[in-house]
Amino acid sequence: MKNIVVLVSGGGTNLQALIDAQNRGDITNGRIVCVISSNPNAYALVRARENGIETEVIRSRDYNYFAGYDKALTELVQSKKADLVVLAGFMTILGSIFIKAFENRIINIHPALIPSFCGEGYYGLRVHEEALRRGVKVTGATAHFVNEICDGGPIILQKAVEIKSGDTPEVLQRRVMEQAEWKILPQAVNLFCNDKIKVIGDTTEITE
C-alpha cells in the first residue's frame, strides 16, 4: 500500500476528487495519509479533516531563506513516509531539494494541455484567461511528473475539453475541472500506485 501525501493551497476540488475516488475504491494500492497546505485558510484543509485525513500547514514566508523552506517541506513529507506526492492546486514553487528527494514521485495537475499555456506565471484562472485571449478552440488538463522545469516533467495523462462561445475564464475553469482534472488526476494516481507508469527520458509509457 503506497502512502500518498497531497499538497494544496486553495479550494481543494482536486483533493476532493481524489478522496471520492479513494472512497469508491477507484484508487487501489494507495491511500492519502496526509494533506499539507501552504495556506492555513485553505478550504482543502476542511475537506481533509471531514474525511479523517491528517493535515499540516507550512508557509514559505515563515522561513528567512527559500532553501530552509525547501528542506523543511522535504523533511515534513518524508516524515509521513510518502511514496507519492500529489500537487492538487499547490501554488508554491517547489525547491530542488524536494524535487530531487521525490524524483518521478511527484504528480501535478495542470489546467491546460501542456505544452500550451504552461510554465512560470500560468496557474489557476490565469491559464484559462490566456486560452480565451489566444482563442484556442480546445483546451484541457494534464497530469504530469514534476521535475526542475516548471510544468516540463514527463506527461502521464491528458484530456481535451471544448471551448464554447461566450465562455468566461470561470466557466471554462469549471468545465476543465469537471471534464478533465477530476478524472485524470485520480486515474494517474491509481496508475502510479499500481506501478503502471514507466518513465522513459522525458516521456512516460502506461503499461497494462
HSE-CB at 146 with a 13 A cutoff on CA atoms is 24
102 lines the binding site for ligand GAR (CB under 6 A): no
What's the closest the beta carbon of residue 39 comes to ligand GAR, in angstroms? 10
* Residue with smaller CB distance to ligand GAR, 178 or 205: 178
34 lines the binding site for ligand GAR (CB under 6 A): no
What does R_g of the chain's alpha carbons equal in angstroms? 16
The DSSP secondary-structure symbol of 61 reads G
Residues 45, 65 contacting (CB under 8 angstroms): no
Of the candidates 30, 111, 140, 154, which one interacts with ligand GAR according to CB under 6 A? 111
CA pair distance 57, 38, nearest whole angstrom: 6
CA pair distance 50, 170, nearest whole angstrom: 27
Of the candidates 2, 4, 6, 10, which one interacts with ligand GAR according to CB under 6 A? 10
Residues 6+ apart with CB under 8 A from 24: none
What's the closest the beta carbon of residue 30 comes to ligand GAR, in angstroms? 19
Q: Which stretch binds ligand GAR (CB under 6 A): 65-73, 74-82, 119-127, 155-163?
A: 119-127
CA pair distance 56, 90, nearest whole angstrom: 14
* Residue with smaller CB distance to ligand GAR, 79 or 168: 168
Residue recorded with cell 510554465: 119
Instruction: State phi, psi for 100 to the nearest 5 degrees.
Output: -70, -40
157 lines the binding site for ligand GAR (CB under 6 A): no
Q: Is 110 annotated as catalytic? A: yes
**x/- contact string, 125-144, with ligand GAR (CB under 6 A)?**
--x-----------------
CA pair distance 97, 99, nearest whole angstrom: 6
89 lines the binding site for ligand GAR (CB under 6 A): yes
* Residue with smaller CB distance to ligand GAR, 30 or 111: 111
Catalytic residue from among 110, 128, 144, 175: 110
Of the candidates 55, 172, 181, 191, which one interacts with ligand GAR according to CB under 6 A? 181
CA pair distance 82, 193, nearest whole angstrom: 12
Question: Site residues (CB under 6 A) for ligand GAR?
Answer: 10-14, 44, 88-89, 109-111, 123-124, 127, 177, 181
